[in-house]
Amino acid sequence: MCGLAGFIDFSRSSNEEILGKMTRSIAHRGPDDDGAEIRQFGDALVGLGFRRLSIIDLSPLGHQPMVNETNGDILVFNGEVYNYAEIRKELEALGHSFKSHSDTEVVLKSFQAWGSACVHKFIGMFAIVIYNPSANKVHIFRDRAGVKPLYYYWDGTLFLFASELKAFHQHPGFKKKIDFDSLRLYFHHGYIPAPYSIFKNTQKLSPGSHLEFNLRSRKIELKSYWNILDAFNKPKLKISYEEATDELEKLLISSFNYRMIADVPVGVFLSGGYDSSGVTALIQKNQTQKLKTFTIGFENELFNESHFAKGVSNYLGTDHHEYLCSEKEATEIIQDLPDVYDEPLADGGAIPNILVCKLAGKHVKVVLSADGGDEVFAGYSKYFEAHKQIERFINLPDIVKRGGAKTIEFINRFRTKSIHHVDRLSRVQSYLQARDGAMMLNALNQTFTEAEISSFLKIKTKHLYSKFMNGHLLNKNNEEIDRVIAIDYQTYLVDDILAKVDRATSFLSLEGREPLLDHRIAEFAATLPADYKMRNGVGKAILRNVVHRHIPKELVDRPKQGFGLPISTWGLKELKPLFDEAFDPAFLRRQKIFSVKKVRGLYEYYMAGNEHCFDRIYEIFVFQMWYKRWME
């Protein structure tokens, strides 16, 4: 885990001091070393800054920014290219020589050898920035799954880039104005999907993308070098279930072995579920040394699942570390969230994620997280619900669906709506407008409907096109369940799950790796028949089949729970002062963003003991905490 930040400044008002402030703001991502390079091209100053967390080649030879002495290219690189040793041999055969043993130098020489096409050779997670002075261009790449983050800002004169938004606040040219159209998306999902960001003129580089900035023309060109939808659109494999299981196990072992490559200690987050248990089992099987595993538990037994992880650890013989935290420790994390997540993210799982990172950080510098299994292999119950609802509504005549949606829209103009609980009429309108499973998934999982958001936001906003609308890009080879998981892979996985884990690990100066998100696994799974992933109403069927080869079924086969915490109760008790502050009428009026009457009405309804509306309360609460930290 490292951090990068920099600028292209056509006003030439930036300098090394500003660049230093930008990188120091993300020092938690790389406490081991820092560096900066500034070059001038015509009217532009190009600055590249870096914070290093030393993982591979711990010597000073891995220092960044790294300069290619042959052609003057300068690189900053956050992440890992796991197959760098193989690529290095290929480059050496072409006549390239190396000073270090780092993957960073391999990336730099790969760009020299193959240009932007080099990214196709990389197996890994990365955000890469390369200043190429000979072509007067800056190139930025983000990995295929989007494990590593990359934000950029462009106002026509100043271009900024960084691993986290907080670096932008350190540049005097950054204008922090809320993008209220993106805020609308936040209140739908609890996160802001790429390419959008909470700020105007600011975007996330989408996964699998290459940004090329031409310094002469000041033009940005965005290209997609990889898209999971392309894999889904290939013909489905004609392969038996057992053959597919064998092939998947080989891919998993290759991916897991790659992600154990490091010059520092490596561990695994172990929850005791299928995904983390499978990762742990296949790694432990292929090494003699005991693998370090980490689990966080809770003193409150209603929310404590640590004994499941302990059972798997005992069976596999790992070096297991467990910590039972109190409600006091968990609630104290809430106040850190705006610093950890500098863009609003209303996922309560952030709290246990930070706690388990604190535990792991005492023992290792790299930790493997088993995210992505549900999105790649159809594990969530919401997929089945979307599938069921689309079958219910898809066969209605178009005239009925259009007429029903327009009727509801007309009725909504004349009725007074509270936002205390789900507006079922508006929800049905969303169902009627859904063209496929992906849009139905969006309708099912939005916290607030379009009509509800319009009723409590005082500022007029427009609806932004998001990847939830991309289901039509999938061809007829795909069943509805494939459309659902393909779009969830591009949205919820990237901008909720991966953002949550990246910020939590980096906040504690850990490198988080995602072995189930190797692009080879994702591509293979996309070409499997749908019933290999969802069988007899059970998701992740083929992945479960692999895990059962190594762990007794009774140790891992249980209902999916995830990290559950009683935050809704804390808001009424321990955290009440913090919630009162967030929903204070004077604060709401000062912001001029919300209908004070609507939002206060929702809060008073919650404070009367109606915890079922907490998802709605929490989204607003998280935004209010973020606003106090970053806008006041």
Q: How far is CA 158 from the centre of its chain?
A: 26
**Cα–Cα distance measured from residue 321 to residue 359, given in angstroms and rounded to the nearest whole number:** 8
Surface-to-core class of residue 444, CB atoms within 10 Å of its CB (0-12 exposed, 13-18 middle, 19+ buried): buried
**Cα–Cα distance measured from residue 590 to residue 14, given in angstroms and rounded to the nearest whole number:** 33
Edge to edge, the sheet with strand 74-81 lists: 66-67, 74-81, 124-132, 137-142, 209-214, 219-224
Q: DSSP string covering 23-69, please?
A: HHTTGGG-BSEEEEEEEEETTEEEEEEEEE---S--SGGG-SSEE-T
**Which tokens is 47 given?**
């600055």
Token look-up 């993957």 returns 103
| Contact by Cβ (8 Å): 368, 259 | yes
Closest listed residue to residue 405, CA positions, set 429, 431, 439: 429
**Phi then psi for 423, rounded to 5 degrees?**
-80, 100
**Which tokens is 317 given?**
């013989």
Q: Where would I find the H helices in 286-324? A: 306-316
**Cα–Cα distance measured from residue 421 to residue 250, given in angstroms and rounded to the nearest whole number:** 47
2 is an active site residue: yes
Torsion angle of the four alpha carbons 209, 40, 1, 517, in this order, in degrees rounded to the nearest 10: 10
| Contact by Cβ (8 Å): 268, 280 | yes
**Cα–Cα distance measured from residue 327 to residue 343, given in angstroms and rounded to the nearest whole number:** 25
Edge to edge, the sheet with strand 202-204 lists: 33-41, 44-52, 3-9, 158-162, 151-154, 202-204
Instruction: Count CB atoms within 10 A of the CB of residue 60.
Output: 9
Closest listed residue to residue 530, CA positions, set 466, 473, 474: 474
Catalytic residue among 2, 325, 357, 613: 2
Phi-psi region of 146 (alpha: psi -120 to 50; beta: other; left: phi over 0): left
Length of the chain: 632
| Contact by Cβ (8 Å): 197, 204 | yes
Q: Which of the residues are catalytic?
A: 2
